[in-house]
Amino acid sequence: MHSTVYTGLLCSLAAPALGVVWESLSGGVPSTWNLLDEPTTGTMSLAISLSRQNIDQLQSTLTKVSTPGESEYGQWLEKDDVEAQFPVVDEAPVVSWLKSAGIQNYTLDGALLKFSGNVATVNKLLNTTFAVYEKEGSIKLRTSEYSIPSSLASYIDVISPTVYFGKTRKALPYPTKGHLKARSDIAASCSDQITPECIKEMYNVGDYTPKVSSGSKIGFGSFLNQSASESDLADYQKLFDIPTQSFTVTTLNGGVNNQSDSIDNVDEANLDVQLISAVSHPLPIHEFITGGTAPYLPDADEEDEDENEPYLIYYEYLLSKTNAELPQVISHSYGDDEQTVPVKYAKSVCNLIGLNTLRGLTILHSSGDEGVGSACQSTDGTKAQFNPIFPATCPYVTAVGGTSGVSPEYAWEASSGGFSNIWDRAWFQESAVETYLTHVTEETKKYYSQYTDFEGRGFPDVSSHSLYPDFEIILGGEAYLSGGTSAACPTFAGIIGLLNDARLRAGKPVLGYLNPFLYSKGYKALTDITTGSSYGCTGIDPQSGEEVDGGLTIAGAYWNATEGWDPVTGLGTPNFQKLKELVLSL
């Protein structure tokens, strides 16, 4: 990663006139956040995401290399190619602006220009007022809008954290205590609980054995102070007769690889690594732990509990590494209600994801565990609406929804899905979504249209088993039952890792960005889920089962699983042997 540190004396140049409100919350600060303080002292840190040139060509470039039948299919770009085709703008005008306002310390990491300064100085720089807000114990230093000089509009994508009041969530229910079974009892019935043998049976993996020498690798992202336990993975592998295999770790942005026994710090990460190991052993596994470094320190000796949103820093980091340094498949089991994510921020992150997929990375995100929605309200609390989940709604992500049951599977009731309010319907899914809409009555469309936008990007794209029966995992040396789309996502990632293994051993490139393949050909090798439905907007959180404080209710809010794509299970669940035959024919 290109990194430059600047320090210097205050510049006497006059600051450029503030000509444009760059981001603004239309309804003001979300009604569920309480104002605690408006500090003027203390140091705060922000990051400016610099614009990239030619970003309007990202979709067309990606389509050429990711669509089967195109002459350039599978010709993924290297890091240097991406940087050459989509260069970051010159940072000099932005640096000059910071210096003219008295900002003395700033660092350039790739396209992120990070800086820190006194709160009063930053308020003046951005023509705004930052304040401390609290919600359910989460504390954030934020504002409702900020401005930049009009002359810098083509240089700056977004500045964060500023107007982002979202709260990233793990996509799993709270694990429940299980019990360790005798070896002879394990997988006696997959209708009881899901084991590695059950997963392989359900998704027709058979006796396929990948080889480390193929070069296929799988990764997963960990946020919210999560880090996978090495000892729990060893216990899991011992329990299910999986040969011992560890994993490697990268920490960034203050992330900590905390090998503690607290299940609150390992429940998500353990689920990820254990299920990836269950499906794809012995392929190498890598964990990326991204911290949420506090952007505001009131006093030098006082730590603030604020957590910065992780996505910009994380995806910029991935983009800074060479293709050879990264796993080709990366699973993520976290998300935010889309309406809580500022549009500029969401689009900036989504473009970073797209640039990474252009290099042959498969970026998977769980669709979420809120069904149609949980709070089901607009950010300002005045309007009822369905709640899509970000980053799953980004068209460059392959979003993984959830199923229940074993044989047959049916839609999991809490599998998040629906239609984005930020992105239009994706080019690769036009036909699939139009077909789905023929199954929806005109009366239902009219009723739902006040709560969702059927012209938005539909998600999820695919699905895998989530809950009922639950997955057996190890937490703190003990057996627990867990699941959710947090289980579906790493399971699907493991399957893609196996498919990449098969292609690499056949001298073919990795699958990379999946969506054009899935919607044009891959769906034929998936198991279409046609029964069951998701629900939501009842005033009860489908993930936790608890009442949603201030949530709005919408009568009859649910999505049905139907033939073909649907907003609960996507195109369906994987059938490895069919997929392997198909991808080897490309």
The pLDDT, as a whole number, for residue 184 is: 44
Annotated binding site: 528-529, 564, 566
The pLDDT, as a whole number, for residue 170 is: 63
Question: What pLDDT digit, counting tens, does each position of 376-407 carry?
Answer: 988 777 789 999 999 999 999 999 999 999 99
Q: Hey, what domains does the chain have and what are their CATH numbers?
A: 3-52+88-160 (no CATH), 169-297+310-584 (3.40.50.200)
Find the DSSP H helices in 461-575: 485-505, 515-520
The pLDDT, as a whole number, for residue 556 is: 95
How many other C-beta atoms lie within 10 A of the C-beta of residue 152? Answer: 21
Q: Are 429 and 419 in contact (CB under 8 A)?
A: no
Alpha-carbon distance 88 to 187, whole Å? 52
Task: Please report, as a single letter, which amino acid is at residue 237.
Answer: Q
Structure tokens at 240: 């299910």
Question: What pLDDT digit, counting tens, does each position of 85-103 carry?
Answer: 999 999 999 999 999 999 9
Structure tokens at 401: 């929804």
The pLDDT, as a whole number, for residue 296 is: 55
The pLDDT, as a whole number, for residue 260 is: 77
The pLDDT, as a whole number, for residue 80 is: 98
Find the DSSP H helices in 157-294: 196-202, 230-239, 267-280
The pLDDT, as a whole number, for residue 32 is: 82
Question: What pLDDT digit, counting tens, does each position of 269-316 carry?
Answer: 999 999 999 999 999 999 999 997 555 555 433 334 445 568 999 999
Please name the helix (run of DSSP H) or strand (run of DSSP E) that holds residue 163, with its range, or none: none
The pLDDT, as a whole number, for residue 177 is: 56
pTM: 0.93
Rg of the chain over all Cα atoms, to the nearest angstrom = 23
CA 444 vs CA 85, 213, 357, 416: distances in Å: 45, 53, 36, 19
Name the DSSP letter for residue 79. Answer: H
Q: How far apart are the first and last CA of the chain?
A: 34
Q: pLDDT under 70 in the chain at which residues?
A: 1-18, 167-188, 293-309
Determine phi and psi for 88, rounding to 5 degrees: -75, 140
Task: Please report, as a single letter, which amino acid is at residue 325.
Answer: E
CA 548 to chain centre: 23
Q: Are 571 and 461 in contact (CB under 8 A)?
A: yes
Annotated binding site for Ca(2+): 528-529, 564, 566
Active site residues: 268, 272, 486
